[in-house]
Amino acid sequence: MGTVVNSDRKSRRGGATLLVLVVLVTGASLVSLVQHAQTQRTFGLRMVNAEVETEAAMLLGLETALRLLSEHTLASPEDPFPPEVDEEGFRADSGAVIRLVFRDAQDRFDLNWLRNQGVPQESFGHLFRAAGLRGSLLVLDGWAENPELLESVDAWPLHMPEAAEWLESPLRADLTVLPPPSSGVVPLNVNAVDAELLVRMLGEPLRGWTETVLRFREQAPLPDIGGALALLPDPVAAALHPYLDVRSAYFEVRMDVEYDGFAAAGWALLRREDDGTVEVMQCRW
pLDDT in tens, 45-92: 777 788 889 999 999 999 999 998 888 766 555 565 666 677 778 899
Gap between the Cα atoms of 90 and 107, Å rounded: 27
pLDDT of residue 203: 85
pLDDT at 123 over 60: yes
- Among 11-20, 25-34, 110-119, 170-179, the range scoring the smallest mean pLDDT is 11-20
Mean of the pLDDT values across residues 148-158? 88
How much of the chain, in percent, has pLDDT values that exceed 70?
74
Report pLDDT digits (tens) over 224-267. 899 899 988 888 888 888 889 998 889 999 999 999 888 999 99
Cross-strand pairs, 265: 256
pLDDT at site 150: 86
Rounded Cα gap, residues 194 and 5, in angstroms: 99
- Rounded to two decimals, the pTM is 0.78
Burial of 219 from C-beta contacts in 10 A (0-12 / 13-18 / 19+): exposed
- Contact (CB, 8 A) for 257 and 266: yes
123 Cβ neighbours under 8 A, 6+ residues apart: 109, 113, 201, 202, 203, 243
Which residue, among 85, 90, 153, 147, has the nearest Cα to 114 in the 3D structure?
147
Rounded Cα distance between 8 and 21, Å, is 20
pLDDT at position 229, please? 92
Q: Which residues contact 103 (CB under 8 A, 6 or more apart)?
A: 82, 251, 252, 253, 254
- The mean predicted confidence, pLDDT, of the chain is 81
153 neighbors 177 (Cβ within 8 angstroms): yes
Mean pLDDT of 155-175: 89
The H-assigned helical ranges of the chain are 2-71, 119-130, 137-144, 156-159, 163-166, 195-202, 207-219, 225-229, 234-240
Check residue 115 and give its pLDDT: 67
pLDDT value of position 31: 66
Higher-scoring residue by pLDDT: 131, 157 = 157
- Judged by DSSP in three states, 279 sits in strand
pLDDT surpasses 80 at 218: yes
Q: Give the amino acid at 113.
A: W
- Domains of the chain in start order, with CATH, are 1-105+248-285 (3.30.1300.30), 109-245 (no CATH)
